[in-house]
């Protein structure tokens, strides 16, 4: 059995299995067999991309490896015997029936026959009309059998059967055709969303040019590995995420970032899989391949999260369903009083619910697809609706409002024989063997100033405090104020300088030489250049509170908050504290969006009404979040809110279309002599078509 591992992490694996590209007995048996394993939590097949996803107990990795080895060696015949399934007929995919290829074919034929005044056409059309209406009958029966209530599908069923019973096939076939047309538009929109995901994954099905043993050779994109040197020629699709090592190119990135125009990329800059080189030739060092690329992550997130119903849709459908009995009572009462069956038929044809059921998912799907094309993954329609009504945005500071990479801003020396540059070089030497961000910031500043860093003889690192040891004949202490105090080094005399540094929103590294404070190194986590404008834009959009959560002290947090225009900031935060702040705001009645990027943000992202993760966030943050920004810019947050608000506005607009046109149809049908059942069907069910077409407008917009 042929398959490839597309993505694997402890407790979860996704396989690409060509055999599972369509529903079959083998696919069903495979799922049943896997689910019967006690160590398998869940198993599902996504037929659109031929993927098998298995979630399992991480401790049982050995059992999973054994099953995969067995499946890889098995033929289809072996697999059937292995699974105990005798049926192999489904292995070869059969062509889709005509009704699936052309879903309006039979309803259109039926409508045409209804217009032919001939007994033979009538005789053929009666069973054909009832056959075309089966999906409507099934929906009505499902709601009745499971919930014991009548819904709008019941009115449609009644209208169709009554029309057929009366011999008025024109009215019946018009109702069926319009309902099926609405369903088709909705399904077409869903197919468009899946097609957009397939386009993102197209790079995986192509060959790529890679440097192997000094020669450029062609290999399947699925065979690429991290650190491969990949050559991309003009017109080719980039198959990996990585940095350019040679060359310069104009690249069309709209599939990932939503940019309408090609962008220039040179040596050292990042490029993404599924984007296209328009001009130039580049060689890329692969950093992420396959499903780990940005495009792969977008596709995985979208395909694994259903659209879902919105609260607005559920409420509107329930309201429409509550109108069923009054409408039915009005139709029966009017028919008894007037003895006019056509008037009864016209009234039961009026159907508020069909338009709601069709138009809302169409609007949500098209808006989600528009967002994905703009580099924003919104996991469901429900999350989109919540995002549209948020009034408070909570930001994690590091990696969100800031880049998360410290930068040295000032060096102050208190030692007469050691100037600022010498002090910086000594501090950098003391932290030579450390890999934390502040140590890297020291080294970056030393490189920037072209300083010579003295040799480091011997140092000892104290976790969370600092480092001490011999550097070029000096005994160094480099770290926090608390670290120096623990080593009885006096620091109180420079409290004024430290306060000034704090007021600027910077942090401080203390440097002591031979037991005496020798200086301070001020550094800051560089704020994103767009942060201030984004926060101002959010306030202009009606977001009343913007809150920053940070582990910095209160003075630094306050300085950053003032610089960015935040309404408040909360300092000295631990991961668990962030979640408590979210819950506290929710108890105040706030609707909250939380945006972060790290593992420590995951609890807060989960508690927020809408959790939003930055592009370079940790995997667990992406899993916990409801919205993923696939471009490293806070402007995507603003765009996500705007798209969500537009989507909700579009849904309300469509509900207005449905309500107005159906009310007009009801008003015209009641007198009995203004319109017949055929015109009532056109007005009532036509409202669903108009609303659905209105709902696909986001697909027409440029990212």
pLDDT at 168 over 60: yes
Tens digit of pLDDT for each residue in 316-365?
A: 556 566 766 776 777 777 767 777 666 776 667 776 666 666 677 777 77
Tens digit of pLDDT for each residue in 16-35?
A: 787 776 555 566 667 766 77
Beta-carbon contacts of 357 under 8 Å, excluding residues fewer than 6 positions away, are: 152, 313, 317
Phi and psi at 271, nearest 5°, equal -130, 165
pLDDT at 672 over 70: no
Per-residue DSSP letters for 632-673?
S-THHHHHHHHHHHHHHHHHHHHHHHHHHHHHHHHHHHTTSS
For the segment 73-78, the average pLDDT, to the nearest whole number, is 56
Alpha carbon of residue 358 to chain centroid: 23
pLDDT at 452 over 50: yes
Percent of the chain with pLDDT strictly greater than 70 = 76
Tens digit of pLDDT for each residue in 473-486?
A: 899 999 988 889 99
Tens digit of pLDDT for each residue in 690-699?
A: 887 887 788 7
Tens digit of pLDDT for each residue in 364-384?
A: 777 887 887 788 888 777 788
pLDDT at 670 over 70: yes
- Which of 50-59, 300-309, 667-676 has the lowest average pLDDT? 300-309
Q: Are strands 392-396 and 545-549 parallel, antiparallel or unpaired?
A: parallel
Percent of the chain with pLDDT strictly greater than 90 = 18
**Mean residue pLDDT across the chain:** 78
321 catalytic residue (yes or no) = no
pLDDT at 673 over 80: no
CATH of domain 404-526: 3.40.1110.10
In angstroms, the CA 466 to CA 591 distance is 41
Residue ranges of the domains in the chain? 4-83, 105-200, 206-301, 311-362+651-700, 376-401+528-629, 404-526
Q: Of residues 236, 321, 396, 597, which has the active-site annotation?
A: 396
For the segment 429-450, the average pLDDT, to the nearest whole number, is 86
3-state SS class at 343 = helix
376-401+528-629 carries CATH number 3.40.50.1000: yes
Radius of gyration of the chain, Cα coordinates, nearest whole angstrom: 32
Nearest to 220 by CA among 16, 410, 44, 32: 16
Task: Write down the pTM of the prediction.
Answer: 0.58
pLDDT at 83 over 50: no
- For residues 96 and 54, which has the higher predicted lDDT (pLDDT)? 54
Q: What pLDDT is attached to residue 84?
A: 46
Q: Are strands 12-16 and 51-56 parallel, antiparallel or unpaired?
A: antiparallel
Q: What pLDDT is attached to residue 244?
A: 93
Cα 486 to Cα 106, 189, 468, 494, 498, distances in angstroms: 85, 65, 12, 17, 18
3-state SS class at 167 = coil
In angstroms, the CA 306 to CA 379 distance is 7
pLDDT at 299 over 70: no
Q: What pLDDT is attached to residue 427?
A: 93
> pLDDT-derived band of residue 277, with 50, 70 and 90 as boundaries?
confident
pLDDT at 394 over 90: yes
Tens digit of pLDDT for each residue in 607-659?
A: 889 989 887 766 666 767 888 887 888 999 999 999 999 988 888 888 888 88
- For residues 186 and 308, which has the higher predicted lDDT (pLDDT)? 186
pLDDT at 440 over 90: no
Looking at the chain, how many residues does it have? 703
> pLDDT-derived band of residue 188, with 50, 70 and 90 as boundaries?
low
Q: What pLDDT is attached to residue 598?
A: 65
Architecture of domain 4-83: 2-Layer Sandwich (3.30)
Q: Give ∠ CA 364-369-371 in degrees, rounded to 5.
A: 95
Q: What pLDDT is attached to residue 71?
A: 65
In angstroms, the CA 428 to CA 434 distance is 10
- For residues 444 and 44, which has the higher predicted lDDT (pLDDT)? 444
Tens digit of pLDDT for each residue in 147-165?
A: 777 766 776 777 777 777 7
Q: What pLDDT is attached to residue 165?
A: 72
Q: What pLDDT is attached to residue 75?
A: 58
Q: Which CATH class is domain 206-301?
A: mainly beta
Tens digit of pLDDT for each residue in 399-423?
A: 788 887 788 999 999 998 899 999 9
Phi and psi at 210, nearest 5°, equal -130, 145
Nearest to 595 by CA among 391, 395, 459: 395
3-state SS class at 386 = helix
């Amino acid at each position: 059995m042929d398959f490839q591992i597309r993505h694997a992490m402890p407790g979860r694996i996704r396989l690409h299995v060509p055999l599972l590209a369509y529903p079959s007995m083998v696919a069903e048996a495979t799922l049943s067999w896997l689910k019967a394993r006690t160590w398998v939590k869940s198993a599902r097949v996504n037929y659109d991309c031929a993927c098998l996803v298995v979630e399992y107990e991480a401790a049982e990795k050995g059992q999973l490896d054994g099953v995969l080895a067995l499946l890889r060696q098995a033929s289809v015949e072996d697999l059937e015997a292995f699974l105990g399934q005798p049926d192999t007929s489904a292995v070869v995919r059969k062509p889709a029936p005509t009704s699936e290829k052309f879903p309006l074919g039979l309803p259109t034929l039926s409508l045409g026959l209804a217009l032919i005044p001939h007994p033979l056409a009538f005789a053929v059309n009666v069973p054909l009309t009832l056959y075309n209406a089966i999906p409507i009958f099934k929906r009505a029966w499902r709601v009745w059998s499971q919930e014991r209530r009548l819904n709008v599908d019941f009115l449609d069923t009644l209208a169709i059967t009554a029309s057929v019973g009366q011999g008025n096939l024109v009215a019946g076939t018009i109702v069926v055709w319009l309902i099926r047309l609405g369903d088709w538009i909705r399904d077409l929109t869903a197919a468009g969303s899946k097609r957009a995901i397939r386009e993102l994954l197209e790079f995986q099905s192509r060959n790529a040019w890679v440097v192997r043993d000094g020669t450029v050779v062609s290999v399947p994109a699925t065979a690429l590995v991290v650190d491969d040197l990949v050559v991309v020629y003009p017109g080719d699709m980039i198959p990996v995420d990585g940095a350019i090592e040679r060359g310069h190119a104009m690249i069309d990135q709209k599939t990932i970032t939503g940019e309408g125009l090609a962008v220039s990329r040179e040596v050292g800059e990042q490029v993404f899989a599924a984007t296209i080189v328009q001009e130039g030739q580049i060689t890329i060092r692969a950093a992420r391949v396959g499903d780990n690329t940005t495009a792969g992550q977008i596709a995985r997130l979208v395909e694994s999260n259903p659209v879902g119903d919105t609260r607005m849709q559920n409420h509107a459908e329930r309201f429409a369903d509550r109108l069923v009995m009054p409408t039915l009572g009005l139709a029966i009462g009017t028919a008894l009083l007037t003895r006019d069956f056509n008037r009864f038929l016209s009234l039961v044809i009026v159907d508020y619910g069909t338009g709601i059921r069709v138009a809302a998912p169409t609007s949500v799907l098209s808006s989600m697809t528009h967002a994905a094309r703009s580099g924003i993954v919104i996991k469901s329609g429900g999350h989109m609706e919540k995002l549209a009504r948020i009034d408070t945005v909570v930001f994690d500071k590091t990696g969100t409002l800031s880049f998360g990479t410290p930068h040295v801003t000032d060096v102050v020396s208190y030692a007469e024989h050691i100037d600022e540059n010498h002090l910086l070089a000594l501090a950098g030497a003391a932290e030579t063997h450390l890999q934390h961000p502040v140590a890297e910031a020291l080294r970056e500043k030393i490189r920037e100033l072209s300083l010579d860093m003295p040799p480091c003889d011997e140092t000892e690192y104290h976790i969370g405090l600092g480092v001490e040891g011999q550097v070029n004949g000096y005994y160094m202490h480099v770290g926090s104020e608390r670290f120096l105090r623990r080593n009885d080094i006096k620091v109180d005399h420079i409290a004024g300088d430290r306060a000034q540094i704090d007021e600027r929103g910077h942090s401080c590294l203390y440097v002591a030489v031979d037991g005496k404070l020798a200086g301070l190194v001020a550094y800051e986590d560089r704020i994103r250049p767009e942060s201030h404008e984004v926060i101002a834009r959010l306030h202009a959009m009606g977001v009343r509170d913007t809150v920053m959560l940070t582990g910095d002290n209160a003075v630094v947090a306050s300085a950053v908050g003032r610089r960015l225009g935040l309404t408040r900031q909360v300092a000295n935060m631990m991961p668990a504290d962030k979640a408590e702040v979210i819950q506290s705001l929710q108890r105040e009645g706030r609707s909250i969006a939380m945006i972060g990027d790290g593992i420590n943000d995951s609890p807060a992202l989960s508690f927020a009404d809408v959790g939003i993760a930055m592009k370079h966030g940790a995997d667990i943050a992406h899993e916990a979040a409801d919205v993923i920004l696939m471009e490293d810019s806070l402007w995507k947050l603003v765009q996500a809110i705007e798209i969500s608000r537009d989507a909700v506005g579009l849904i309300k607009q469509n509900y207005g279309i449905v309500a107005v046109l159906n009310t007009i149809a009801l008003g015209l049908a009641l007198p009995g002599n203004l319109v017949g059942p055929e015109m009532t069907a056109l007005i009532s069910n036509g409202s669903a078509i108009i609303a659905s077409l209105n709902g696909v407008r986001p697909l027409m917009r440029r990212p």
